[in-house]
């Protein structure tokens, strides 16, 4: 890995670039409690080969970015009742991290792609920074509504589990998790998954950081009104078999964002298996191309 570090406000972000920095930039934003490794290095390299300068990074509170251990983590009851008394930060703060990273790297604007919570962060970037976000791809995400995109009941206990007791236990928990929420129609390489989980453990797994991020999602509430401000070309991708953020979350996102395109993928769950990469890569590339086209002006 070519890990690099950048100070953005009060946090230091760990990031890794792929490709030619003179190409159009794509910022990849990962989901809840997941390190930038969730964007597989091979995926990033393939995207770079399509003519982009690709940047993946650890959000605050995961991996090698700053962990805000001095700030409170919500208690389980707060999470269950969706009443976070003292959120450590909000999705807007996490969005500012990513935008700040671009600033520090001297990148004026970028195409932004987010998965799960990363999709929520990417949506917030596009709504709040129309001058810096060229296009948006929101994958397996939602608007934050309590009436759409909610997890299937059998998934809920995952959020209340006790911390893994060690590296091996953590790895097996991840394998078990993706058997539950992963894509039933696409092949999953459990050996590769175990390897990535082990690297994540070695880089630093933070249960309190996970809780602070979850608190940010809950405390940020329903964001549909903000999403209506998004004017950039937007593609919403969602798996029809997603049990963690059910497909209604993707549909609600596409409805909220003006002129957004919705692509529902048969047999895709809440993960990014190699079998679905070509469809996602095509979507990112085609959506970015839409941003490069001039907007037609109404006839006088």
- The 10s digit of each residue's pLDDT in 32-82 is 999 999 999 999 999 999 999 999 999 999 999 999 999 988 888 888 788
When pLDDT is cut at 50, 70 and 90, the band that residue 162 belongs to is confident
* Among 170-174, 181-185, 189-193, 295-299, the least confident range: 295-299
Residue 149 predicted with pLDDT over 60: yes
For residue 297, what pLDDT band results from cuts at 50, 70 and 90?
Answer: very low
Distances (CA, A) of 167 to 4, 171, 246, 289: 25, 6, 30, 43
Predicted confidence (pLDDT) per residue in 106-120, tens digit = 999 999 999 999 999
Label residue 182 by pLDDT band (50, 70, 90).
very high
Whole-angstrom distance, CA of residue 92 vs CA of residue 126: 11
**Global confidence as pTM:** 0.92
pLDDT at 136 over 60: yes
3-state secondary structure of 155: helix
Domain boundaries, the chain: 4-292
Cα–Cα distance for residue pair 250/255, rounded to 1 Å: 9
At residue 165 the predicted structure's pLDDT band, cuts being 50, 70 and 90, is: confident
pLDDT of residue 254: 97
Does position 295 have pLDDT exceeding 60, yes or no? no
- What tokens does 269 get? 């769950």
Mean of pLDDT over the chain: 92
Region 112-132: what's the mean pLDDT?
97
**pLDDT beyond 70 at 1:** yes
Asked if residue 300 has pLDDT above 80, the reply is: no
The string of pLDDT tens digits covering residues 202-251 is 999 998 999 999 999 999 989 999 999 999 999 999 999 999 999 999 99
Q: What is the pLDDT of residue 296?
A: 42
pLDDT of residue 86: 87
- What's the confidence (pLDDT) of residue 163? 73
β-strand pairing of 261-265 with 110-115: unpaired
C-alpha torsion 180→181→186→189, nearest 10: -70
Q: Under CATH, to which class is 4-292 assigned?
A: alpha beta
Please compute the mean of the pLDDT values over residues 187-198 and round it to a whole number.
93
In a 13 Å sphere around the CA of 89, the CA atoms on its Cβ side amount to 22
Cα gap 113→284, rounded to integer Å: 8
Spell out the residues 6+ positions from residue 206 whose beta carbon is closer than 8 angstroms to its own. 61, 62, 67, 69
**Assign residue 161 a region: left if phi > 0, alpha if psi is -120 to 50, beta otherwise?**
beta
Q: Are 123 and 246 in contact (CB under 8 A)?
A: no
Model confidence at 147, pLDDT cuts 50, 70, 90, reads: confident
Q: What average pLDDT does the segment 15-20 reach?
A: 97
Res 294 pLDDT > 60: no
CA dist., res. 5 & res. 7, Å (int): 7
- The mean pLDDT of 3-31, rounded to a whole number, is 96
With pLDDT > 70 as the criterion, what percentage of the chain qualifies?
Answer: 97
């Amino acid at each position: 890995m070519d890990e690099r570090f950048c100070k953005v406000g009060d946090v230091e972000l760990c990031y890794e670039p792929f490709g030619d920095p003179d190409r159009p930039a794509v910022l990849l934003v990962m989901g809840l409690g997941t390190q930038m490794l969730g964007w597989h290095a091979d995926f990033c390299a393939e995207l770079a080969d399509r003519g982009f300068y690709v940047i993946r990074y650890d959000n605050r509170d995961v991996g090698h970015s700053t962990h805000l251990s001095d700030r409170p983590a919500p208690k389980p009851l707060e999470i269950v009742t969706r009443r976070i008394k003292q959120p450590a930060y909000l999705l807007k703060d996490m969005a500012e991290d990513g935008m700040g990273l671009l600033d520090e790297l001297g990148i004026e604007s970028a195409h932004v792609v987010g998965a799960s919570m990363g999709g929520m962060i990417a949506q917030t970037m596009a709504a709040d920074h129309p001058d810096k976000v060229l296009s948006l791809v929101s994958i397996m995400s939602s608007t934050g509504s309590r009436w759409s995109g909610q997890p299937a009941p059998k998934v809920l206990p995952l959020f209340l589990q006790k911390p893994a007791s060690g590296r091996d236990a953590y790895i097996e928990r991840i394998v078990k998790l993706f058997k539950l929420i992963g894509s039933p129609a696409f092949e999953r390489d459990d050996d590769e998954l175990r390897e990535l989980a082990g690297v994540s453990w070695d880089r630093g797994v933070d249960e309190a950081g996970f809780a602070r991020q979850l608190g940010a999602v809950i405390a940020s509430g329903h964001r549909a009104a903000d999403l209506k401000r998004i004017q950039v070309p937007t593609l919403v991708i969602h798996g029809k078999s997603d049990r963690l953020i059910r497909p209604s979350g993707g549909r609600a996102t596409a409805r909220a964002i003006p002129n957004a395109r919705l692509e529902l993928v048969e047999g895709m769950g809440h993960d990014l298996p190699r079998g679905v990469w070509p469809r996602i890569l095509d979507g990112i590339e085609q959506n970015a191309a839409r941003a490069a086209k001039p907007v037609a002006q109404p006839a006088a």
